[in-house]
Amino acid sequence: MFVTFLIWLIVEMNLFLLTFLYSTIKATGAILFFVLFGLMCCIFVRSRRTSLLSLLYGKQEDEQDWLGRLFHRVAAFIFKYGFGIIVVLLIFRLIFPHAVGLMLDTLGVLLIWFVGDLLFVLLESFLIFPFMLQGYYKWKYPEEYREWEGKSIEEWYGKRYLKKHPELLQKKIGNQSYD
């Protein structure tokens, strides 16, 4: 439920900011903004997917994956030279403070908007998603995880839950009977 609210909040924030900035960036700028944002999201999600696959299955990155290598090169280029572009724009603003003030203010709002959206994607893919994935598997395979963590039925489910569900105590799991 929390994740759904966060996603709706970001969608509404994007629509709100697009409403105010559309007169400045026009359709081409909006399309370019969201295409660039989509590419960055793909890079982050692919990176997380690759790390989760290697963690879960020991699977390494496919050597034939030219798209993944291209994404990593583009991301490395943006992270390497993006700061330089920002420094050049700030120096340009110091030299010509009145001529480009409105342009750089709009650029600053766009940059904050873009970085905020990217931070949300990073939060979602690197912090929230792994815990949701772990919770899903613990919910789907509770007995296997209980055995894997070496906990008794009472430690895993709790005394109150076992009073409501006594059939768990009679269940035979593996070679052990819990009568």
Task: Write out the two tokens for 12.
Answer: 């509404």
Q: Is 12 exposed, middle or buried (0-12, 13-18, 19+ CB in 10 A)?
A: exposed
Listed as own residue / partner, the contacts of 124-128 with beta carbons closer than 8 Å and 24 or more positions apart are 124/3, 124/6, 124/7, 125/44, 125/45, 125/48, 126/44, 126/48, 128/3
User: CA-to-CA distance for 115 and 122, rounded, in angstroms?
Assistant: 10
Exposed / middle / buried, residue 43 (Cβ in 10 Å: 0-12, 13-18, 19+): buried
- Domain positions in the chain are 2-137, 141-173
Q: How high is the pLDDT of residue 176?
A: 53
Q: How far is CA 79 from CA 61, 91, 114, in A?
A: 22, 19, 14
Q: How many CB atoms lie within 10 A of CB 124?
A: 19
Question: For every one of its 179 residues, what pLDDT tens digit does the chain have, with 9 covering 90 and above?
Answer: 788 898 999 999 999 999 988 988 899 989 999 999 998 888 788 778 877 777 677 676 666 567 667 777 877 787 788 778 878 877 877 777 666 555 667 778 888 899 999 999 988 888 888 888 888 888 898 888 888 889 888 888 888 988 888 887 776 555 455 54
Tokens at residue 68, please? 């993944």
Residues 6 or more apart whose Cβ sits within 8 Å of residue 88: none
Answer yes or no: are the C-beta atoms of 137 and 163 closer than 8 Å.
no
E strands, the chain, are 172-173, 176-177
Long-range contacts of 70-74 (CB under 8 A, 24+ apart): 71/39, 71/42, 71/43, 71/46, 72/43, 72/47, 74/39, 74/43
CA atoms within 13 A on the CB side of 153: 17
The whole-model pTM stands at 0.64
